[in-house]
Amino acid sequence: MLRSHKIALDPNKQQATYFSKASGVARFAYNWGLAEWKRQYEAGEKPTQASLRRQLNAIKREQFPWMLEVTKNAPQMALIHLGDAFQRFFRGVAKYPAFKKKGIHDSFTLTNDQFSVSEKRIRIPNLGWVRMREVLRFSGKILSATISRKADKWFVSITVDTEEMPPICENQAIVGVDLGVNRLATLSDGTFVTGAKPHRILLNRLRRLSRSLSRKQKGSKNRAKTKLKLAKLHAKVANTRNDELHKLTTRLVSQYGVIVIEDLNVKGMMANHRLARAVGDMGFHEFRRQLVYKTAMRGGDLIVADRWFASSKICSKCWTKQESMPLSIREWTCLECGTHHDRDLNAAKNLMKLAVSSTVIACGEDVRPAHTEATSTKQEFNVKATYA
């Protein structure tokens, strides 16, 4: 299994300058390759990342001699990434590649023959040893390393082909998870997770720094200082949110064998100006992304209920469906059985019952007639259910 470990680096000024140069070379090569790809395609040719790499190698010593100041992997891997971007575009899973901008996602990639790792150090070509904040967590064959910048800090993400796996979850309990903007998650067992809400907490500071940045003269040192402060604050918001989501998803996959969530229309929610900020602050898409790969690693099952499953409108006691349920109603009483419900907790219970009542049981076997063979599969299910 391929696993990556992202480690903070502790470079000196000379090393940080080298990283900036290598990232600039990678960005230039990517943009040059994209422009050349467009030109060749419009001329009726069939460009590939391999042909672009050969073309760049033939001209870089004369036209771009400053590329030789950094590792050869910086421009070459950038063109390989461009080829991968076009492959995703041709498969219809991504948009047409766009030109990269300076200061946004600055990074460059090294192949395993161009660097080495020893304890808390990594050796970079033409640079030497750079200190890392921690040792590499995984053991196995090292494949590549990507050095990137976030605000004023540099990180290295090392990809390792390892046989080390997290412990398999032996507990086959089922839990329904309802996501919301008031509370990050409500579990069917009655657990409530409020969520860090870092953007909401730091919103006033973000606004103040943004206004201050807008008043600074472009190209001035004061503008650069304020821009760095704003970037560091945005990084703090993202780090706080990711820390919360990683802790929650790891706890869920460790304690439950089957997890049921809703197929939320996050893109549609973000289009609603009244919900966009709160939805983005919770990180619904990242929550699901983490659950997908963590359940796969631990041998669990992730069931995704259909988007139109009315989990909030159905009484989890008698399964009577209410006619309407506006978002402003957080608690309600069933007219049929008289049970008083918390909206989110009721939805989580219905998600859990959906897994129990569906054709999928906790061990991952399909419930079918005795004469039909069923095989265990660890995958993400999409369960559709309608209730009268």
Catalytic sites, residue numbers: 178, 262, 344
Query: If DSSP codes are grouped into helix, strand and coil, which group holds residue 226?
Result: helix
Torsion of Cα atoms, 169 then 287 then 96 then 148, to 10°: -90
Largest CA distance in the chain: 82
User: Which element (helix H / strand E) includes 54?
Assistant: helix 49-63
CA distance 290 to 296: 10
CA distance 358 to 174: 12
**225: Cβ contacts below 8 Å, ≥ 6 apart:** none
CA angle 384, 387, 388 (to 5 degrees): 150
Residue with tokens 């209730």: 387
DSSP 180-202: -SSSSEEETTS-EE----HHHHT
Alpha helix positions (H), 256-316 = 266-270, 276-282, 284-298
CA distance 245 to 185: 10
DSSP H or E run through 356: helix 343-357
Which residues, 6+ apart, have CB-to-CB distance to 6 below 8 Å?
155, 156, 157
Give the amino acid at 388: A
